[in-house]
Amino acid sequence: MTPPMPQNTSDLSAADLRTSASRRAWSAGARWAFALAALVTVLVSALIIWTVASGAWTFISQVAWGNLTEIGWFPRRGLFDLSTLLVNSVQISVIAMLVAVPSGFGAAIYLSEYAHPKVRKVMKPTLELLASVPSVVLGVFAISFITPSILTNFFDDINFFNKLAAGIAVGLLVIPLIASIAEDALRAVPVALREASSGLGARKVTTSIRVVLPAAMSGLMAAIIVGFSRAIGETMVVTIASGGGDTSLFNLSLTESGGTITSAMAALGLGTDQVAGNNLAFQSLYFLGALLFAITLVLNMAGDVIVRRLQNKY
């Protein structure tokens, strides 16, 4: 039954077992094409860093340093007070976190610890769907609903453009992100911990708060950090709802308008044709970009390190 052996096995060489040259060439060529594509992603990073760094350097080397700490942000008059934009960015992002963290964490705990699998199966995609709501729409929502229909009931003299409404709208925008990272962290906690806790007689609420939450702490921290980074980088909501991107005086009031790093960039970008004059307004766009890039990169890397530590633990 076995096929007959070749008459002269010694006549066969490795070359006879090889496949055709074209098949080998295809396979080798594909490898190089894929490697080239992978290099493109590195190129994108390099170009981003080169773009913002060289533009920022032009700005730093020409600006009068005293103008970086003057009364406010008036790029066309040569006054670039960074603290104005930074304070507004941080204020709005903190408000956003006050909205997003309680509701995002609450939803995450509910979905991971309490919800029936069927409920979970519906709610998880709903959260994903929420993450896709365009930010311009939330900006419109802030000026057409949050300020006039809600905030005016609490604050008599609130500005039409204000940081509070912008912060709330940004918060709504980052809820799905925070909820999804937090839920992943909670589900990474081994079931054995929950079973041990229940076995000792703990109620579900005790197990959730005293056992699961502490065990997932680093993941929850990461959710807050990444959410904050997202809020700092959010542009359209802030540009529409908070105003002040073109010019803003330094102020701490949440019911006043105020430009942020991102809204100042959008305002400068809108006028790219006009600002190409001899002042530094155009270069300040790249400087703000570099600042924003550095801030979000540090935050995201911190979040990443924390998540990694969590993955190693269990």
Partner 1 sequence: MSVLTTPAGIATGAADALRRRPGADVAGSAFKWLLIGATVFATGFLAVLLAVMIVDGWEVLSGNLWHFLTHGFSQRSAAEAGVWQGILGSLQVALVTGLFAVPTGVATAIYLVEYAQGSRFARIVELNIRNLAGVPSIVYGLLGLAVFVQTIDGFTKGKTVIAGGMTLAAMVLPIVVITSVEALKAVPDSLREAAYGVGATKWEVLSRQVLPAALSTILTGTVLALARALGEAAPLILVGAATGFMSFGDANVLETFTGPYTALPVLIFNFARQPGADWGVNAAAASVIILVLVLAVNGLAIYLRNRFERQW
List binders of partner 1 among 268-297 (CB under 8 A).
Answer: 269-270, 272, 285-286, 289, 292-293, 296-297
67-96 binders of partner 1 (CB under 8 A): none
For residues 210 and 212, give the distance between their C-alpha atoms in angstroms, rounded to a whole number. Answer: 6
For residues 178 and 182, give the distance between their C-alpha atoms in angstroms, rounded to a whole number. Answer: 6
For residues 223 and 230, give the distance between their C-alpha atoms in angstroms, rounded to a whole number. Answer: 10
Who's near 130: CB < 8 A, 6+ residues apart? 175, 176
Residue type, 245: G
Among 143, 158, 166, 170, binds partner 1 (CB under 8 A): 143
216-245 binders of partner 1 (CB under 8 A): 226, 229-230, 232-236, 239-240
Among 12, 196, 203, 313, binds partner 1 (CB under 8 A): 203
Is 41 one of the binding residues for partner 1 (CB under 8 A)?
yes
Is 139 one of the binding residues for partner 1 (CB under 8 A)?
yes
In the complex with partner 1, the residue whose CB is nearer, 25 or 71, is 25
Q: Which of 48, 53, 73 is nearest to 291 (CA)?
A: 53
Size, binding site for partner 1 by CB under 8 A: 91
Is 176 one of the binding residues for partner 1 (CB under 8 A)?
yes
Is 40 one of the binding residues for partner 1 (CB under 8 A)?
yes
Q: Which of 95, 54, 63, 98 is nearest to 82 (CA)?
A: 63
Would you give the binding string for partner 1 spanning residues 116-135, x where CB under 8 A is met?
A: -------x-xxxxxx-xxxx
Is 253 one of the binding residues for partner 1 (CB under 8 A)?
no
**Segment contacting partner 1 by CB under 8 A, of 3-11, 31-39, 187-195, 210-218:** 31-39
What is the residue whose two structure tokens read 């806790």? 197
For 1, 102, 212, 216, the CA distances from 220, given in Å and listed in that order, are: 67, 11, 11, 6
Is 152 one of the binding residues for partner 1 (CB under 8 A)?
no
Is 301 one of the binding residues for partner 1 (CB under 8 A)?
yes
Is 205 one of the binding residues for partner 1 (CB under 8 A)?
yes
Is 44 one of the binding residues for partner 1 (CB under 8 A)?
yes
CB of 24 to partner 1, least distance (A): 7
Residue type, 209: I
CB of 237 to partner 1, least distance (A): 10
For residues 214 and 312, give the distance between their C-alpha atoms in angstroms, rounded to a whole number. Answer: 16
For 50, 182, 202, the CA distances from 209, given in Å and listed in that order, are: 46, 14, 11
